[in-house]
Chains A and B, each alone.
Chain A
Amino acid sequence: MQWFNVIVQGVLIGGLYAMFAAGLSLIFGVMRLVNIAHGDLIVLAAYISLMVMQGFGVDPLTSLVLVVPVMAAIGYALQRGLLNRTLGDDLLPPLLVTFGLSIIIQNGLLELFTADSRRLQAGSIEVETFQLAQGVWIGALPMIQFTVALAVIAGLQILFYRTALGRAFRATSDDQPVAQLMGLDTRHVFAMAMALSLAIIAIAGVFLAVRTNFDPAIGPARLIFGFEAVIIGGLGSMWGTLAGGIILGVSQAVGAQIDPGWQLLAGHLVFLVILAVRPQGLFPKVSG
């Protein structure tokens, strides 16, 4: 029963990792941009939530009403003003520019908020639990977090395959010049993708910051978790990304149960094994 408990907790945290990964995967899929600043943007969202909470006296989940649109707007502006200029046949310029952005965000946050670690206080909901089975208790917050992750993934899936915006994302990803010939302004399409990615980051960042302490330097580690979940799941498949997040979460939980020092190591090892055995990931998009 103890192991069952460990796996359930791992699955629940996996939802958070899937949200880290979904934004990364979306951006890479639409414009072949590897966003090295992804983790730092997650931390930025946590700090914005902190300011909204202090400014309006609301709880973290309510702060999302503001944090999501603010992050989406930042994403749109970032893409139109900066990242669109780096896109081309070469993958390197966007990589370098987002690496620089990562450093700028970390240091900017350090200047503004110091290196003190913070946490978003969610009140009584943090300690509420309910019993799933005999001996298996689930926290209300992890459960909400996992449900939101499911909704985000399902929402992305619907957006990609059922809406005009999703169609534009896929068409632009397939063939940029022809997408332009068909009347799509690819600069705008890319900016919409980045806005969407940062809206997901906002949700992920707030859940992360309620769960654990954060400070300006923790971004890169979240980026690694996001990458690992994307690679495990296979590029281009949203449900694969969810599976990747869950596998990573369960691996870490099982590792921690064996020895608390093994939590991160176990996750990395499982990632390496999958990368070695099945480099295309477990659920790659069937190439058309």
Chain B
Amino acid sequence: MPDEALLDVKAIDAFYGDFQALFGVSLSVRAGQVVAVIGANGAGKSTLLKSIAGLMHPHSGEILFEGTSVAGSPAFDRLGRGIALIPEGRRLFPSLTVEENLLIGGQSRRPGPWTLARVYELFPLLAERRNLPAPALSGGQQQMAAIGRALMANPRLLLCDEISLGLAPVVVRDIYAQLPQIVAEGLSLIIVEQDILQALRAASHIYCLQEGRIALQGPAGELTRETISAAYFGV
């Protein structure tokens, strides 16, 4: 079914200098699908997302988006094609207000359902704080703004790098509760998480990375906790 895959990552190798972070990693995402990538610290999850978003370029292998290779295309161009990354640690622009952060995301002018008004509807807290500088928000609100900023680009594929990192469980639950609304607009998601339970609940397909290799993959319902923890810890 390669023709119905929105994203097809084919056997990529990625390096930081001499250090190899990914070894022949393959992954595919269909339109409207939520895929989770789990794994311990340093397993290569962020590297995989950066390679898909164009911040890193794999040494070998191929990444196809909507059937065409994105090789050599820089990050700003991939956003225009419909790949948006919510970076780990949120990384809002500190000298911009909340609304300006959202507007930056919308600058690519891709047509689609997401506008300032829709983002404020999804996260009403942001609307009240729209004129505050981004660092004035709490961690959870910053994460909402980071999600909103990426949605403003109206991506077809949204890459979420550890959106639960450093947030209170109740805040994480609130944010994850909004994901179905986002997916309902026809987006596909790749969620990178260290919180396995959260990932299992949100995603329909799981990939488990271990030291740069896919150690396990399968539909979320078919993987048992035991097989996952074996793949996660490599025991």
Q: How does the 8 Å CB contact mask read for B90-102 relative to A, with 1 for contact and 0 for none?
A: 0101111000100
Instruction: List 6 tightest A-B contacts by C-beta distance, closest first.
Output: A183-B108, A183-B79, A180-B75, A174-B93, A171-B93, A288-B94
- Residues of chain B lying within 8 A (CB to CB) of residue A170: 93, 95-96, 100
A180–B133 Cα gap in the complex (Å)? 21
Q: Are A180 and B74 in contact (CB under 8 A)?
A: yes
- Residues of chain A lying within 8 A (CB to CB) of residue B149: 182
Q: Within the complex, what minimum Cβ distance (angstroms) separates B11 from chain A?
A: 25
Q: Are A183 and B107 in contact (CB under 8 A)?
A: yes
A278 on interface, CB distance cutoff 8 Å = no
B153 on interface, CB distance cutoff 8 Å = yes
A179–B85 Cα gap in the complex (Å)? 11
B105 on interface, CB distance cutoff 8 Å = yes
Q: How does the 8 Å CB contact mask read for A166-187 relative to B, with 1 for contact and 0 for none?
A: 0110110111011111111110
A178–B94 Cα gap in the complex (Å)? 12
A171–B95 Cα gap in the complex (Å)? 7
Q: How does the 8 Å CB contact mask read for A57-72 relative to B, with 1 for contact and 0 for none?
A: 0000000000000000
Give the B interface residue count (CB, 8 A). Answer: 28
Interface residues of B (CB under 8 A from A): 53-55, 74-77, 79-80, 84-85, 87, 91, 93-96, 100, 103-105, 107-108, 133-135, 149, 153
Q: Are A180 and B55 in contact (CB under 8 A)?
A: yes
Pick from B55, B94, B133: contact of A177, CB below 8 A.
B55
Among A174, A181, A183, A184, max chain B CB count under 10 A is at A181
Q: Is the interface of A mostly helix, strand, loop or mixed?
A: helix
Query: Given that A164-B103, A288-B135 are known contacts, is A174 also in contact with B94, CB under 8 Å in the complex?
Result: yes
A179–B95 Cα gap in the complex (Å)? 13
Q: Within the complex, what minimum Cβ distance (angstroms) separates A84 from chain B?
A: 13
- Residues of chain A lying within 8 A (CB to CB) of residue B79: 181-183
Pick from A168, A178, A185, A186: contact of B91, CB below 8 A.
A178
- Residues of chain B lying within 8 A (CB to CB) of residue A182: 76, 79, 104-105, 107-108, 149, 153
Q: Are A185 and B95 in contact (CB under 8 A)?
A: no
Query: Given that A180-B75, A181-B53, A183-B107 are known contacts, is A171 also in contact with B96, CB under 8 Å in the complex?
Result: yes
Which positions 149-201 of chain A face chain B at CB distance < 8 Å?
164, 167-168, 170-171, 173-175, 177-186
Q: Are A181 and B95 in contact (CB under 8 A)?
A: no
Q: Are B76 and A185 in contact (CB under 8 A)?
A: yes
- Residues of chain A lying within 8 A (CB to CB) of residue B107: 164, 167-168, 182-184
Residue contacts A-B, CB under 8 angstroms, 6 given: A167-B104, A171-B93, A180-B76, A181-B53, A181-B84, A181-B87
A173–B149 Cα gap in the complex (Å)? 17
A197–B127 Cα gap in the complex (Å)? 35
Query: Given that A167-B100, A168-B107, A288-B133 are known contacts, is A183 also in contact with B93, CB under 8 Å in the complex?
Result: no
> Can you name the residue of chain B whose Cβ is closest to the Cβ of A164?
B107
A185–B100 Cα gap in the complex (Å)? 18
> Can you name the residue of chain B whose Cβ is closest to the Cβ of A236?
B95
Q: Within the complex, what minimum Cβ distance (angstroms) separates B36 from chain A?
A: 21
A174–B149 Cα gap in the complex (Å)? 15
- Residues of chain A lying within 8 A (CB to CB) of residue B133: 288
A157–B76 Cα gap in the complex (Å)? 27
Q: Within the complex, what minimum Cβ distance (angstroms) separates A151 from chain B?
A: 24
Pick from B85, B94, B134: contact of A181, CB below 8 A.
B85
Q: Within the complex, what minimum Cβ distance (angstroms) separates B186 from chain A?
A: 20
Q: Within the complex, what minimum Cβ distance (angstroms) separates B198 from chain A?
A: 23
- Residues of chain A lying within 8 A (CB to CB) of residue B103: 164, 167
A288–B96 Cα gap in the complex (Å)? 9
Q: Within the complex, what minimum Cβ distance (angstroms) separates B41 from chain A?
A: 20
A184–B105 Cα gap in the complex (Å)? 9
Query: Given that A178-B87, A181-B84, A182-B149 are known contacts, is A171 also in contact with B75, CB under 8 Å in the complex?
Result: no
A148–B89 Cα gap in the complex (Å)? 44
- Beyond the given pairs A181-B53, A288-B94, 16 more chain A to chain B contacts, judged by CB atoms under 8 angstroms and listed by A's residue number, are A167-B100, A168-B104, A171-B93, A178-B91, A178-B93, A179-B104, A180-B54, A180-B76, A181-B55, A181-B76, A182-B76, A183-B79, A184-B107, A185-B76, A288-B95, A288-B133
